[in-house]
Structure 1
Amino acid sequence: MKPHLDRGDVPLFNRYLARGSVYFEFGSGGSTVAAAKMKNIRRIYSVENDATWVSKVKTAVNDKDRVTIFYIEMDCGETEWGNPGSRSTYDDWVRYSRALENLSSEEALEIDLFMIDGRFRVACLLNAFARMSDAALVMFDDFSDRPFYHIVLDYFEIVERGSRMVVLKKRSVPPPDQTLIERYEKIAQ
């Protein structure tokens, strides 16, 4: 299982993964497996909404002791990749984008590398803003060609660009307000 990234972004992903020590990702898969192979990564947290996919990822990960997968049921069933199912609720979507709240404040502040590659990407990152360290870096996949995601640039600055992925760092600005976050918690992109 390999990361599902644009070919031009794989070196960028690997370079930042090699610098990290505690990794948190929204959307599991090949990125989870790659992180588990890195000896410098001492802890991995992954958020996933597809039970079948969770099973495949767990099978592919060789060092399960370092990996915690937060499975958020969203009744995916037979839908397009990662979309919430027809019986999923707004509460399910909120639990997904707020999954960082499953960790203590101390655990959240230890995270030095995030990967945004699942559903509700804008909401995930905006929700993480107040709980993440100022030094943490964020790899955001499919960012360059999806202007819808660019609202996060009000709160994060681009450190490096790949072909579709960008690496972001927090700006020294107040956190996003709850009204803005709630708007994006309703959009699965």
Structure 2
Amino acid sequence: MSMDQESIAKPELTFSPEVADLVRDTYARARVILEYGSGGSTVLASEMPGKTVFSVESDKRWTRNLQAYLDQAGTASDVHLHHSAIGKTGKWGRPVDHSGYRRYHRYPLEVWDRPDFIAPDTVLIDGRFREACFYAVMLRSTRKTVVLFDDYGDRPRYHAVERFAEPVEMRGRMAKFVLRKRALPREALTQIVGAFTNAF
């Protein structure tokens, strides 16, 4: 390994052991993975053969560094990092102000419009706009989809999604959902649209 390779640290999983086990087991059974939020989970998926991975990230520098690591380490699967430009961001890709609010809807949705996009069978929600990402999957998915929603257990504001689906499993703070293509009720439009303005 060259010095250049040694200078790029491998992003590690930051989940608790029980959550990490759920992610590993779910990814092992997946064929197409969509991640909202990139990092150690992306590296994990990249090391599993036979996967196609799309990973959405709002932090441009983090995206660039992760791409550099994957380029040097090599991948066993196809990994597509998708930077979503939602304005100036700080720690964890969080917007530092609302100057980019006109682009907020792009984070959950625009990856689905890529010409090379393949509908996922597995989605990890661990980034920004988490409730909106859940609704994006409900609106855009074309098949049964397993959704892993991190930090769900201790953040009651996310539980608004239970109007449409309930978790089938809780593992630590992570909730597992199984979503199927369905029409959303018209009276839920206010709730759904409102979620696309909340970056948390």
What TM-score, normalized by structure 1, do the two folds share? 0.87
Extract unaligned runs of 5+ from structure 1: none
**% identical equivalent positions:** 31
Q: Does 1:34 align with 2:53?
A: no
Amino acid at match of 2:172: S
Structure 2: distance between partners of 1:131 and 1:72: 18
Report the equivalent of 2:157. Answer: 148
What TM-score, normalized by structure 2, do the two folds share? 0.83
Amino acid at match of 2:106: R
Instruction: Specify the structure having the higher radius of gyration (Cα).
Output: 2
Structure 2: distance between partners of 1:103 and 1:139: 22
* 8 Å Cα contact 1:50/1:74 also seen in 2: no
CA-based RMSD: 2.3
Which of 119, 129, 139 aligns to 2:138? It is: 129
Amino acid at match of 2:101: Y
Report the equivalent of 1:67. Answer: 79
* 8 Å Cα contact 1:156/1:171 also seen in 2: no
* 8 Å Cα contact 1:100/1:128 also seen in 2: no
Deviation (angstroms), 1:91? 2.1
Report the equivalent of 1:20. Answer: 30
Report the equivalent of 1:158. Answer: 167
How many aligned positions are there? 185
Amino acid at match of 1:93: Y
User: How has the CA–CA distance of structure 1 residues 95 and 172 changed in structure 2, closer, same or farther, with 3 Å as cutoff?
Assistant: closer
Extract unaligned runs of 5+ from structure 2: 1-10
